[in-house]
Amino acid sequence: MKPYRETFNDGYLIYGHKQTQRTATGKRVGEVFTEEGKLAFKEMSCRDQDYQMANIMGASLDLKVKTLYPPSFRKINKSKLKVIINNTEYDVINVDSDEGKQYLYFYLQEVGAIDE
C-alpha cells in the first residue's frame, strides 16, 4: 500500500524559548519570547491516557497537535519549549514522536494570551 501524504492545514505554531530581561543592575524586569521557528500543524483529539499523562506531570492538557519532525529537533530539549498558536502562549508538557521519526505530537497547556 502506498503511503499517503498528510496535510497540516490547521495553522502554524511558533516555537521558541522565554528569556529573562534584566536591568543593568541585574534586577529582573520581565521575560521576552524568542522565536526559533514555525511548524505547520494538525489538531489532534486527546485520548484519556493523554489527559492522565498530563495529570501525572502536574499539568492540564489543553491542546494536542501533530507536526512533521524537522531534523533540527533531534538535538534540542523539546520539553523546555514555549509555543504560540493564534496569539495564545502554551507550555509544552510533553513531545512524542512516532516510530518512523516522521511526526511529532505536542501536548500543550495554555498559559494565556500574549501582548503584541
> How confident is the model at residue 2, as a pLDDT?
60
CATH number at residue 74: 2.40.10.270
Answer yes or no: is 32 within a domain.
Answer: yes
Answer yes or no: is 17 within a domain.
Answer: yes
Which run of H or E residues covers position 50? helix 48-56
96-105 per-position pLDDT tens digit: 888 888 899 9
> How confident is the model at residue 61, as a pLDDT?
92
Answer yes or no: is 96 within a domain.
Answer: yes
Beta bridge partners of 14: 38, 84
Answer yes or no: is 1 within a domain.
Answer: no
Global pTM?
Answer: 0.85
> How confident is the model at residue 115, as a pLDDT?
66
20-65 per-position pLDDT tens digit: 888 888 888 888 888 889 999 999 999 999 999 999 988 999 999 9
Task: List % helix, strand, coil for the chain (3-state, nearest 5).
Answer: 15, 50, 35
Cβ–Cβ < 8 Å for 42, 65: yes
> How confident is the model at residue 11, as a pLDDT?
93
- What is the separation of C-alpha 53 from the centre of its chain, rounded to a whole number of angstroms? 16
Q: Quote the number of domains for the chain.
A: 1
